[in-house]
Amino acid sequence: MINSIKMRKLFIGFMALAMASVLSLTSCGSKKNSESAADSVAVSSKYPANSPVAKYGALQVKNLQLCGKDGNPVQLAGMSTMGWQWCKECYTKESVAAMLNDWNVNILRLAMYVEEGGYNTNPAEYRDMMCNLIDICGELGIYCIVDWHVLTPGNPKNEKYADAENFFRFIANKYAGADHVIYEICNEPNNCQAKDNAEKPWECTREEIVTWDVIADYANKIIPVIYGAADSVNSTHPIVIVGTPQWDQLVDACLKEGMYQGNEKDLSDPLPARDSRLKFDNVMYAFHFYAKSHNEGFEKNGKPNYYDMYSYMYDVLGELPVFCSEFGTVEAHGSGAPDFDRTDKWLIMFDGNNAGKQKVSFCNWSFSDKDETSAALKVGSCAKGDWNATTPSGEYVKKVLSVVNGGVKDSSVLKDSNKYVRK
């Protein structure tokens, strides 16, 4: 979510896997094992026949597009978890299987909060939970995103995230060569928390914001750790999703000097061009949207003070490879009535109706039964194991996934493929 109220994203509590005939993936194990790369377990390249990973294989970025092993475009569409510390009963082998078989997901984002009562409270426990979920996704043959869920503080270089390199080294070594694993190295970079008592704490000045240069410096330390693990087994470099400034909103900050959201500058003004893109082969840039909040833009004193986000992203998709690792049908804080028409508009753009003709992959926030309108399941559903007790948002997203991944024709979603066309 795009502000501090988003402190409720995901969980995962898991059962030991026993289907060794499908994929020989084991849990992270003890603290002793978790601290030694030599103890990593080789991951089988075999996935269930006809599963998404069996179909697409090791992913790659070609030009602006996410592609499968054969070089053809791939659009992944699925769900994100909520914070495991809040919704652990929602993430079991049964729930992931239901997402695959009933919801038609081909990807699950494993949102592991670092602060907010998450990883930093017990690193070994959360690392094991992450591994358990990675294993389940591998056994079922769906892709997963290992999400180092930065939120508060919003600077990935903050001392509270000092264990990032160790975490990614362990996971990358353990799952080196695993086709189904994608990495998201920092969720929603921001640093507006210093202004929590301000009237509008989300408004950052240029001096206060976590800039692209800060993010790039962090990424240039973490990505070589991940890619080094792949190199050690002569494997394709996995996809790495890198967060962008202002809660994954200023996606092309690497191409425009001084880009920021502030009160003094209209972002529609021309900005000096630059090129500080990350110099790695399979990197994608994160974008997040919440349909009720992110549409025609923000206002100041009744006048537009922000770019039209549709037009902005239309153009960005002609410049950079983008992965929408989180979206919601509601407001950015997770509440309010869903806006399905505006969600349609975004997802139609992601279907190739943009400057780069990109097929943009996306994950919905969230597969959980938390008491908020962004949740896909009704309150109490997870404890009952009822993985199809949908909220209005969940019902809509389930239909979207059946259309995008399942080939189902449904006129109630994505109603007009020409609804957003650049004029």
- The residues annotated with a catalytic role in the active site are 188, 326
Question: Encoding tokens for residue 280?
Answer: 């790695």
> Residue 44: is it exposed, middle or buried by C-beta count within 10 angstroms (0-12/13-18/19+)?
middle
Given a contact cutoff of 8 angstroms between Cβ atoms, the answer to whether 238 and 183 are in contact is: yes
Residues 6 or more apart in contact with residue 192 via CB below 8 angstroms: 154, 201, 202, 203, 204, 208, 209
Sign of CA dihedral 311, 71, 328, 406: positive
**SS3 string of the chain?**
CCCHHHCCCCCCCCCCCCCCCCCCCCCCCCHHHHCCHHHCCCCCCCCCCCCHHHHHCCCEEECCEEECCCCCECCCEEEEECCHHHHHHHCCHHHHHHHHHCCCCCEEEEEEECCCCCHHHCHHHHHHHHHHHHHHHHHHCCEEEEEEECCCCCCCCCHHHCCHHHHHHHHHHHCCCCCCEEEECCCCCCCHHHHCCCCCCCCCCCCCCCCHHHHHHHHHHHHHHHHHHHHHCCCCCCCEEECCHHHHCCCCCCCECCCCCCCCCCCCCCCCECCCCCCCCCEEEEEEEECCCCCCCCEECCEECCCCHHHHHHHHCCCCCEEEEEEECCCCCCCCCCCHHHHHHHHHHHECCCCCCCECCEEEEEECCCCCCCCCECCCHHHHCCCCCECHHHHHHHHHHHHHCCCCCCCCCCCCCCCCCCC
d(CA 348, CA 316) in angstroms, rounded, equals 15
Q: How would you class 277 by CB atoms within 10 Å of its CB: exposed for 0-12, middle for 13-18, buried for 19 or more? A: middle
